[in-house]
Amino acid sequence: MNDWIQAVHEDHSIQASEYISRSGLEDHLPQLLDSVAELLRCESGDNTEVITEDARKHGSYRWEQGYKLEEVVRELTLFRTVMIRHIFHIEEQHGPLSPEVRLLMTERIHELLDELGWSSTQQFIHEQQRNLVHASASRARLLHNMSHELRNLLNGLSLAAELIDDEPSEPVQEMQVTLSRSVSHMRELLDDLLDLSALVNGQQVVRPAAFRPAGLLRHVQAVYRPMAEAKGLTFHAECAPELETVHGDERKIEQVVINLLSNAIKYTAKGEIRLSFHPIEEDRWSLSVSDTGSGISKEDQKEIFSEFYRAKSTSQARGVGLGLAISCRLVELLRGELRVVSTLGEGSRFEVLLPLKFIEAPPAVRPSSLDIEETSQE
């Protein structure tokens, strides 16, 4: 055991061991080594329940001690090396073993340590998955609770803005305008938080129905063309005539279009905004939003669909980085695909590929903790 602990401490790829005492590193190893020795003495190779249980404990201990999965694997590799090396130490002390005995011992060690490695890493992964599930649930609860608490505060501010609207003095009116803008901004943020909370919690349900994309385009255009033109931008909108009817959740598709258009107008100082609907394949259609705005760097394009991420080129604009994250989740819910092509300083093009007919897929079966536990026992 001393040889193994020394090997672990000297291996710089196991960084977690540098912060663990010798007793913490040993944890239950004396018991584990006794189990290995006992099994090596057994004629039957089937009685591995004891080492399996010890291996699970080892995986749990290493998770609690802050190990990474690759560090657990490396540590077990060193354990195997030390065990094989001790065969030669036995020969030095007690004389050479016959080839048959040496082969039998080597095979038995490999067999037992394969079981040790499998069970330890499976338990480590189980702990990791359980922690991720708990973290995800905590995040969802935080989003939900924070959104509703902020909405209560926002309702109070809205009432205050309405009350001071009756005051005729100019300073109060200026304050009222500022307050109303702040309330509007907070309402947009809250709507995003509530949408994200519903998506994270799996509460968003697709309600597919047949609709005409041209009608959706006209509705969106009526709202966003004036906003674009107010900034001096040219607004183009087109729907291919052959794209007469599609089957999907019109409200959620509209939300994606609105998010993309809002971003395009927000980050474009001059030039144009273009919204386009057209079929691309026998079973898919495309909606795209392009602009001549600030563009997105290659580095930022890898992260822009993450929650709360703000591209460096847009850091001065208002917002917290939820629109694209929500759009991405909605597109996934709609069985679609969201793409971006952008050049820094020249503009961006976001394209959403959607099925012409939405087909409800069977729900993904997520393994429960019981499933994971049973898998680790096999």
pLDDT of residue 349: 95
What CATH class is the domain 209-355? alpha beta
What are the sequence ranges of the domains in the chain? 2-135, 139-200, 209-355
**Quick check: 294 pLDDT over 90?**
no
pLDDT of residue 376: 38
| pLDDT band at residue 47 using 50, 70 and 90 as cut-offs | low
| pLDDT band at residue 138 using 50, 70 and 90 as cut-offs | low
**What is the 3-class SS of 236-286, one letter each residue?**
EEEECCCCCCEEECHHHHHHHHHHHHHHHHHCCCCCEEEEEEEECCCCEEE
Pairing of strands 337-343, 347-355: antiparallel
pLDDT of residue 98: 79
Do residues 265 and 304 lie in contact, with contact meaning Cβ atoms separated by under 8 Å? no
**Quick check: 211 pLDDT over 90?**
yes
More confident residue, 29 or 254: 254
Q: In whole angstroms, what is the distance from residue 189 CA to residue 28 CA?
A: 51
Element (H, E) at 354: strand 347-355
* Residue 304 CB-density burial (10 A; 0-12 exposed, 13-18 middle, 19+ buried): buried
Q: What is the second-level CATH architecture of the domain 2-135?
A: Orthogonal Bundle (1.10)
pLDDT of residue 205: 78
| pLDDT band at residue 60 using 50, 70 and 90 as cut-offs | confident
**Quick check: 304 pLDDT over 50?**
yes
Do residues 39 and 48 lie in contact, with contact meaning Cβ atoms separated by under 8 Å? yes
pLDDT of residue 61: 66
**Quick check: 210 pLDDT over 90?**
yes
pTM metric for this prediction: 0.52
Q: In whole angstroms, what is the distance from residue 146 CA to residue 194 CA?
A: 9
| pLDDT band at residue 288 using 50, 70 and 90 as cut-offs | very high
pLDDT of residue 78: 76
pLDDT of residue 377: 41
Q: What is the CA radius of gyration of the chain?
A: 31
Whole-number average pLDDT of the chain: 75
pLDDT in tens, 177-204: 666 666 665 666 666 666 666 666 666 6
What is the pLDDT averaged over residues 47-63?
67
